[in-house]
Amino acid sequence: MKAIHLFSVLMFFITGIISPLRSYSQDTESMLCVGNYQTEKQAKKQLKEFKKSYPTLDKWKEKAAIIRQGILDGAELSAFPEKCPLNPIFTGQRVYDGYSVENVAFESLPGVFVTGSLYRPTGDYTSFAGILSPHGHWSDPKTGGRFSEDVQKRCASFARMGAVVFAYDMVGYGEMKDYGWIHKYPKTLKLQLWNSIRALDFLESLEGVDSDRLAVTGASGGATQAFLLTAIDDRIAVSVPVVQVSAHFFGGCVCESGMPIHKSNHHETNNVEIAALAAPRPMLLVSDGKDWTKNTPDVEYLHIKDIYTMFGKPENVENAHFIAEGHGYEYSKRQAVYPFLAKHLNLNLQVIKNENGYFNEDNIVIEPYEQLIIFDKDHPLPEYALKMNDDIVWK
Ligand SMILES: [Zn+2]
């Protein structure tokens, strides 16, 4: 009898301890809006209801503040960790026609290295704009992400136009993958957003970069990073999310919807409203006819434009829609982005314009993976570097 009694008491305590943990994780789970979280019809209805809730600019600003806080709370970044010294490392500058490329790493947290490629103008400029170039889930480390031809071409072109451009690896992609970092990790969203904030710190720290002319652009998961950073960081002056902002699709990866940034016990939002937090800062939505951005001209863009109109700045948001195209940031889409960024970042468009009115990407050297990585046998990863997601200490 005594043993049974003890067992019951023990179970009572264990259940008492476990239950709150379980209900916390169930709560968190129930707040996640993942992938195709709702149908296109439901999404339209939701936007209609959202719109009714902010008939005035003040009402939108109230909602905007709640959404911004919801992202920070959901990503567990409502209190920022201490910003450690970036301790940047630069290797091997290559000088090409109108731009140069260097391999770069910096620390976003002590021992957490963010790796990337830095493109600088070699033209005659007195100061530079700064552009962050996050990438999406193009998975082959040898050809995807910042190593892809598309990313190298756009970064080199922006540099020719007068911008310092930083293209950086997503968590667990690119070269840090070789050191045990993985992408599909429960709190990747948190680290990836923090890395973007620190990437902006890094860009701002570079000589000649004008803090009033900072922008971010990426495609797919790179666009998710772009609009999340724009939503929470006022230093971004111009945002160009490519093929991602959707009312019904919330992003299917842990880095996009794996933490509860869209919903809490007291609010609900979607990526259209999150992207609209850019307002009234200039934003170009690039969309296409074959993915979840197919409705953009009639749905997402119109909703966001109404918000810009409340600010008296409808001209600051544009949509370039490619109805016959699919998911990507290819040449045709870059043709829309170059003039938009030139207009709003005061870049030199003439330097890439040809006699037919198109923008040249001639003589851009596509470098191989081996040339773009920073850590190799001559420049080994520092001994104290963290080599796994588990090792992170958030202070
Ligand atoms: Zn991801």
Kindly give the distance from the C-alpha atom of residue 75 to the centroid of ligand 1, in angstroms, as a whole number: 14
* The two structure tokens encoding residue 13: 């305590």
pLDDT tier at 142 (50, 70, 90 boundaries)? Answer: confident
Of 5 and 349, the structure prediction assigns the larger pLDDT to 349
What mean pLDDT is predicted for residues 218-229?
A: 98
Kindly give the distance from the C-alpha atom of residue 254 to the centroid of ligand 1, in angstroms, as a whole number: 5
Q: Give the whole-angstrom CA distance, residue 160 versus residue 292.
A: 32
Kindly give the distance from the C-alpha atom of residue 169 to the centroid of ligand 1, in angstroms, as a whole number: 11
Kindly give the distance from the C-alpha atom of residue 220 to the centroid of ligand 1, in angstroms, as a whole number: 10
What mean pLDDT is predicted for residues 174-186?
A: 92
Total count of residues recorded for the chain: 395
Residue pair 116/104 in contact (Cβ under 8 Å)? The answer is: yes
Kindly give the distance from the C-alpha atom of residue 378 to the centroid of ligand 1, in angstroms, as a whole number: 31
* The two structure tokens encoding residue 300: 């997402």
Kindly give the distance from the C-alpha atom of residue 141 to the centroid of ligand 1, in angstroms, as a whole number: 14
Reply yes or no on whether the pLDDT at 28 is more than 90: no
Kindly give the distance from the C-alpha atom of residue 258 to the centroid of ligand 1, in angstroms, as a whole number: 9
Kindly give the distance from the C-alpha atom of residue 185 to the centroid of ligand 1, in angstroms, as a whole number: 9
Kindly give the distance from the C-alpha atom of residue 228 to the centroid of ligand 1, in angstroms, as a whole number: 13
Kindly give the distance from the C-alpha atom of residue 146 to the centroid of ligand 1, in angstroms, as a whole number: 15
Q: What is the pLDDT of residue 25?
A: 65
The span from the first CA to the last CA of the chain, in angstroms, equals 49
Reply yes or no on whether the pLDDT at 108 is more than 80: yes
**Cα 117 to Cα 12, 104, 356, distances in angstroms:** 56, 6, 31
Kindly give the distance from the C-alpha atom of residue 158 to the centroid of ligand 1, in angstroms, as a whole number: 25
Kindly give the distance from the C-alpha atom of residue 256 to the centroid of ligand 1, in angstroms, as a whole number: 6
Reply yes or no on whether the pLDDT at 17 is more than 70: no
Q: Give the whole-angstrom CA distance, residue 351 versus residue 79.
A: 43
Kindly give the distance from the C-alpha atom of residue 205 to the centroid of ligand 1, in angstroms, as a whole number: 27
Kindly give the distance from the C-alpha atom of residue 255 to the centroid of ligand 1, in angstroms, as a whole number: 4
Biggest CA–CA distance in the chain, Å, is 94
Q: At what angle do helices 188-205 and 221-232 cross, to 10 degrees?
A: 70
Of 6 and 64, the structure prediction assigns the larger pLDDT to 64
Kindly give the distance from the C-alpha atom of residue 225 to the centroid of ligand 1, in angstroms, as a whole number: 10
SS3 239: strand
Q: What is the pLDDT of residue 26?
A: 64
pLDDT, tens digit, 9 for 90 and up, residues 146-170: 999 999 999 999 999 999 999 999 9
Which residues have CB under 8 Å from 266's CB, separation 6+? 66
Element (H or E) spanning 229, and its range? helix 221-232
Kindly give the distance from the C-alpha atom of residue 203 to the centroid of ligand 1, in angstroms, as a whole number: 23
Kindly give the distance from the C-alpha atom of residue 81 to the centroid of ligand 1, in angstroms, as a whole number: 22
Reply yes or no on whether the pLDDT at 218 is more than 60: yes
pLDDT, tens digit, 9 for 90 and up, residues 233-246: 999 999 999 999 99
Q: What is the pLDDT of residue 9?
A: 41
Kindly give the distance from the C-alpha atom of residue 172 to the centroid of ligand 1, in angstroms, as a whole number: 9
Q: What is the pLDDT of residue 24?
A: 46
What mean pLDDT is predicted for residues 57-62?
A: 98
Mean pLDDT of all residues belonging to the chain = 93
Can you name the CATH fold of 89-372? Answer: Rossmann fold (3.40.50)
Q: What is the pLDDT of residue 380?
A: 96
Residue-wise DSSP of 275-335 = HHTTTTS-EEEEEESSSTTTTTTTTHHHHHHHHHHHTT-GGGEEEEEETT--SS--HHHHH
The identity of residue 121, as a single letter, is P
pLDDT tier at 249 (50, 70, 90 boundaries)? Answer: very high
Kindly give the distance from the C-alpha atom of residue 19 to the centroid of ligand 1, in angstroms, as a whole number: 30
Vertex 327 angle, CA 178 and 185, to 5°: 35
pLDDT, tens digit, 9 for 90 and up, residues 340-379: 999 999 999 999 999 898 999 999 999 999 999 999 999 9
pLDDT tier at 5 (50, 70, 90 boundaries)? Answer: very low
Q: Give the whole-angstrom CA distance, residue 50 versus residue 303.
A: 10
Kindly give the distance from the C-alpha atom of residue 176 to the centroid of ligand 1, in angstroms, as a whole number: 15
pLDDT, tens digit, 9 for 90 and up, residues 297-343: 999 999 999 999 999 999 999 999 999 999 999 999 999 999 999 99
Kindly give the distance from the C-alpha atom of residue 248 to the centroid of ligand 1, in angstroms, as a whole number: 18
What mean pLDDT is predicted for residues 179-202?
A: 96
Q: What is the pLDDT of residue 112?
A: 97
Kindly give the distance from the C-alpha atom of residue 171 to the centroid of ligand 1, in angstroms, as a whole number: 8
Reply yes or no on whether the pLDDT at 268 is more than 90: yes
Kindly give the distance from the C-alpha atom of residue 223 to the centroid of ligand 1, in angstroms, as a whole number: 11
Q: What is the pLDDT of residue 3?
A: 44
Q: What is the pLDDT of residue 395?
A: 83
What mean pLDDT is predicted for residues 254-279?
A: 96
Kindly give the distance from the C-alpha atom of residue 162 to the centroid of ligand 1, in angstroms, as a whole number: 30
SS3 366: coil
Of 235 and 25, the structure prediction assigns the larger pLDDT to 235
Q: What is the pLDDT of residue 138?
A: 86
Reply yes or no on whether the pLDDT at 23 is more than 60: no
pTM for this structure? 0.93
